[in-house]
Amino acid sequence: MATDLFTVLPECAAARSVRISFNGVEKRVVPGTTVAAALLGAGESRLRASPVSGDSRAPYCMMGVCFECLVEIDGVPNRQSCLIPVAEGMTIRSQEGRVQLDAKEAVSHE
């Protein structure tokens, strides 16, 4: 497995000051980057499963077009991690297939 596909530059690696968690594992990442870049830099390349085929997926376009980088951030599903700046304390989970719409939303509007 090509775990070294992406390498954080040495001068940046020294500044891994932001703490996040990915699927329950704490990571320290570089500030000022996107969630997708942070996760790739931390060696995480499987961010989701396709809701159609179930196959593993990794960030691809890194510019908001392809939707391959979807993750759940702080409980909100299907977020484009390549467009969201990484922030201290973020709880990130891989996006495993399709979301179940919340029936509570239905109740709150009745």
Q: Which two tokens stand for residue 101?
A: 């719409």
Cβ-based nearer residue to other proteins, 27 or 68:
68
CB-nearer residue toward other proteins: 1 or 103 = 103
Report the candidate in 34, 22, 17 with the shortest Cα–Cα distance to residue 88: 17
| Of 88 and 96, CB closest to other proteins | 96
In whole angstroms, give the CA distance from residue 49 to residue 110. 34
| Binding residues for other proteins restricted to 14-73, rule: CB under 8 A | 51-52, 67
3-state secondary structure of 76: strand
Choosing from 3, 25, 76, 89, the residue that interacts with other proteins (CB under 8 A) is 76
- For β-strands 56-57 and 70-73, DSSP reports them as unpaired
4 binds other proteins, rule: CB under 8 A: no
- When asked if residue 78 is in the footprint of other proteins (CB under 8 A), the reply is yes
Query: Where on the chain is the footprint of other proteins (CB under 8 A)?
Result: 51-52, 67, 76-79, 98-103, 105-110
